[in-house]
Amino acid sequence: MIDLHTHSTASDGTEPPAEVVASAARAGLSVLALTDHDTYAGWKPAAAAVPECGVALVRGVEISCSHEGTSVHVLAYLLDPHHPPLVRELARSRESREHRIEAMVDRMAADGIPITLEEVRAVAGPGATLGRPHIADALVARGVVATRDEAFADILRGGSPYYVSHYAPDPVRAVELVREAGGVPVMAHPFAAARGRVVGDDVVEEMASAGLAGLEAHHPDHDSAQRAHAVDLAGRLGLLVTGSSDYHGTGKANRLGQETTSAAVLEEIESQASSGVEVVRP
């Protein structure tokens, strides 16, 4: 069982990186990719847990992107974590995320929702890429909502008066940078309209021309029509098809191994990588 999309406390998952690897072993996975938002901070502790857990680790990242205001997520596997232009882009996104969280908290506080930036920072792991799920956790701690889900249904949703966007690179640029860094770019949940606005096929085509390797057709947020559309488009554009859980620990209902990727597709991803960053095997 191969699951190529998970999050740890390096971003907005609820388990530290080594625990995600341990959970993957318990769930019966043979290969797991750690793909925290806009950071490589979980790579080292996750890799250190591989020998005792017996699960292979694909080191990755989920790059926040924006195409004319529409959010796009690009998964990148086995890339050189030192590639300077990408390091700069990720740092810029993380910093913008901090200001954005501060702005959202300010709007909420001005409207009588009792929450502070310090509280949000306290629920996030040290140095974690801050995201709306951390605001949700702070709201849960305050008793304002019961769960992350409840916070996202109202206060934190895209159209909420408290919503503020953050800087993110264009997805075509991100795909180019991942290839420059010797990595393999796959578009995450391409047609998950339940999460908000999605881009049209034309943008996916542009990303494919720039070097996109695959589409994550099988994702918990895709219904059967969206999966079929992604599989069909991948076929037409000569792209790989992946499936993954987007596990966030207890922060989301998604279970490890809920969606999976075939061994043949993982082999192709590995063969396309040219960074020297390899799969960490037990």
Q: Does 133 bind ligand AMP (CB under 6 A)?
A: yes
- Residue of 6, 8, 12, 184 interacting with Zn ion (CB under 5 A): 12
Which among 37, 199, 55 is positioned nearest to 127, based on CA atoms? 37
Go through 261-272 and write b for each residue having 16 or more CB atoms within 10 A of its CB, e for each that does not.
Answer: beeebbeebeeb
Q: Considering only residues 166 through 225, tell me which ones interact with Fe ion, judged by CB under 5 A.
A: 188
DSSP letter (8 states) at residue 223: -
Interaction of residue 13 with ligand AMP, rule CB under 6 A: no
Which residue has the closest beta carbon to ligand AMP? 131
* Residues in contact with 44: Cβ distance below 8 Å, sequence separation at least 6, in sequence order: 17
Which of Fe ion, ligand AMP, Zn ion, none does residue 188 bind to, with CB < 5 to 8 Å depending on kind? Fe ion
- Residue from the set 12, 80, 176, 216 that interacts with ligand AMP by CB under 6 A: 12
Nearest residue (beta carbon) to Fe ion: 73
Q: How far apart are CA 45 and CA 261, in angstroms?
A: 24
Q: By rule CB under 6 A, what string of x and - marks binding of each residue 140-179 to ligand AMP?
A: --------xx--x---------------------------
| CB of residue 282 to Zn ion, shortest distance in Å | 27
Separation between Cα atoms, residue 268 and residue 250, nearest integer Å: 31
Half-sphere exposure of 241 (CA within 13 A, CB side): 16
CA distance 128 to 199: 28
Nearer to ligand AMP, 69 or 238 (CB): 69
List b or e across 139-166, with b for residues whose CB sees 16 or more CB atoms inside 10 angstroms.
Answer: bbeeebbebbeebbeebbeeebebeeeb
Q: Which of 83, 132, 179, 219 binds ligand AMP (CB under 6 A)?
A: 132
* 38 vs 80 by CB, closer to ligand AMP: 38
Among 198, 251, 260, 266, binds ligand AMP (CB under 6 A): 251
Binding site for ligand AMP (CB under 6 A): 12, 37, 131-133, 148-149, 152, 248, 251-252
Residues that bind Zn ion (CB under 5 A): 7, 12
